[in-house]
Amino acid sequence: MIVSVITARGGSKEIPKKNIVDLNGKPLIYYSINASKNSCVDKTFVSTDDEEISNIALEYGISVIDRPSELATDTTQSEDVLLHFADMVDFDILVFIQPTSPLIKTEYINRGVDMIQSGNYDSVFTTTKEHWIPRWDMNIKPVNWDITNRPLRQDKSELYIENGMFYITTRESLLSNKLRYGGKIGVVEIPLEDSFQVDTYEDLKLIRRING
């Protein structure tokens, strides 16, 4: 059985009630719910400590896992929430979706599940490809490059940036590694234009324009 869990606690410092903030007429969490419900996932859940989020999830026809308050703090690790979910729900493959990536698409979820079902991977996660750019720390010091010998972009390897849209793992891998990814790991590459997350008001303003 393939299930998904959207982790959506009520607290958020940067944007109050971030997971249900309005994004072009829909709560933020709607976009993850919709992508999951239209994918190859058999059943979609929301794990939350918040009654308002719970009610919205039920309105959209998905199941709710009541998350204990001790698993809904600023310091809670997602793995603890996933292991709590695994105690409550049986599954073979778990799609862990973060509702802060509203540009998620059903096709991306299906692609990741196909990779797991191929038997070639134990877990996959979403990435975006990044070309090298000069980075500086907050003290205006170059990070991993020499100001007197600035490299050319084409001479530096591309990197995968973890964008946090979703992670997929088998039950066996989750329980044995206690991590969202383990064993043989693969990636689902997401185009830059769909990779943005809502963490700040600036992010929200940008995505409202993209998704408008």
Assigned domain for 155 exists: no
Assigned domain for 11 exists: yes
The per-residue pLDDT for range 131-187, each reduced to its tens digit, is 888 999 999 999 999 998 898 888 888 899 999 999 999 999 999 999 999 999 999
Tell me, what CATH number does 24's domain have? 3.90.550.10
Residue 157 has a pLDDT of: 85
Residues designated catalytic? 150
Assigned domain for 102 exists: yes
Assigned domain for 144 exists: no
Given a contact cutoff of 8 angstroms between Cβ atoms, the answer to whether 6 and 104 are in contact is: no
Given a contact cutoff of 8 angstroms between Cβ atoms, the answer to whether 17 and 51 are in contact is: no
- The 3-class secondary structure across the chain, one letter per residue, is CEEEEEECCCCCCCCCCHHHCEECCEEHHHHHHHHHHCCCCCEEEEEECCHHHHHHHHHCCCEEEECCHHHCCCCCCHHHHHHHHHHHCCCCEEEEECCCCCCCCHHHHHHHHHHHHCCCCCEEEEEEEECCCCCECCCCCECCCCCCCCCCHHHCCCEEEEEEEEEEEEHHHHHHHCCCCCCCEEEEECCHHHCCCCCCHHHHHHHHHHCC
Other C-beta atoms lying within 10 Å of the C-beta of residue 52:
13
pTM: 0.92
Assigned domain for 49 exists: yes
> At 9, which amino acid appears?
R
The dihedral formed by the CA atoms of 33, 35, 40 and 42, expressed in degrees to the nearest 10: 10
What span, in angstroms and rounded, lies between the C-alpha atoms of 54 and 29? 11
Q: How many domains does the chain have?
A: 1
Whole domain around residue 35: which residue ranges? 2-126+162-210
Residue 151 has a pLDDT of: 86
The CA distances from residue 100 to 9, 88, 105, 120, 145, in Å, are 12, 24, 13, 28, 32
Assigned domain for 192 exists: yes
> How much is the mean pLDDT over the chain?
94
What span, in angstroms and rounded, lies between the C-alpha atoms of 23 and 145? 39
Residue 152 has a pLDDT of: 85
What span, in angstroms and rounded, lies between the C-alpha atoms of 79 and 76? 8
Q: Provide the token pair at 31.
A: 């976009």
φ/ψ region of 13 (left if φ > 0, alpha if ψ in -120 to 50, else beta) reads alpha
The per-residue pLDDT for range 39-82, each reduced to its tens digit, is 999 999 999 999 999 999 999 999 999 998 888 888 889 999 99
Confidence of residue 212 (pLDDT cuts 50, 70, 90): low
Assigned domain for 89 exists: yes
The per-residue pLDDT for range 201-210, each reduced to its tens digit, is 999 999 898 8
